[in-house]
Amino acid sequence: MIQKRNRRAGVEDRWLKTDKKTRTASYGKGNRWRARYVDEAGQEHSKSFRVKVDAQAWLDEITASHITGNYVDPKRGSITFSAFYREWSQRQVWVTGTMTAMDLAANGVTFSDLPLMELRPSHVEAWVKSMQDKKLLPSTIKTRFNNVRSVLRAAERDRLLARDPAQNVKLPRIIKSEHTMKIPTPVEVGKLMAACTEHHDVMRGFVAVCAFAGLRLGEACGLRVSDINFLRGEIRVERQSQPGEIRAPKYGSVRTVYVSMELIAELAEHVRIHSPGDDADRWLWSNANGPWTANVVEPRFGRLRKKNGGDYSLHDLRHFYASGLIADGCDVVTVQRAMGHKDATTTLNTYSHLWPRAEDRTRKASSKMYLESTADALRTDETGSGSDQA
Q: Give strand pairing partners of 2.
A: 16
Give the phi and the psi of residue 270 in degrees, each rounded to 5: -65, -45
Contact 228, 267 (CB under 8 A): yes
Alpha carbon distances (Å) from 255 to 205, 228, 258: 20, 12, 10
Count of beta carbons in the 10 Å neighbourhood of residue 295: 12
pTM of the model: 0.66
Give the phi and the psi of residue 177 in degrees, each rounded to 5: -60, -25
Alpha carbon distances (Å) from 99 to 61, 82, 148, 333: 38, 15, 12, 30
pLDDT tens per residue, range 105-122: 999 999 999 998 889 999
pLDDT: is 372 or 355 the higher one? 355
Which pLDDT score, from 0 to 100, does residue 226 have?
Answer: 96
> Using CA atoms, how far apart are residues 269 and 230, in angstroms rounded to an integer?
11
Model confidence at 3, pLDDT cuts 50, 70, 90, reads very low
Give the CA-trace dihedral at 143, 310, 306, 223, to 10 degrees. 60
Q: Which has the closest alpha carbon to 184: 204, 203, 210, 206?
A: 210
Residues 277-290, mean pLDDT to the nearest whole number: 93
Least confident of 34-48, 62-76, 79-93: 62-76
> Using CA atoms, how far apart are residues 101 and 258, in angstroms rounded to an integer?
32
Count of beta carbons in the 10 Å neighbourhood of residue 9: 5
Most confident of 60-69, 170-179, 196-205, 222-231: 222-231
Give the phi and the psi of residue 108 in degrees, each rounded to 5: -100, 0
Which pLDDT score, from 0 to 100, does residue 380 have?
Answer: 60
pLDDT tens per residue, range 340-349: 999 999 998 8
Least confident of 140-144, 216-220, 248-252, 375-379: 375-379
Mean model confidence pLDDT for the chain: 81
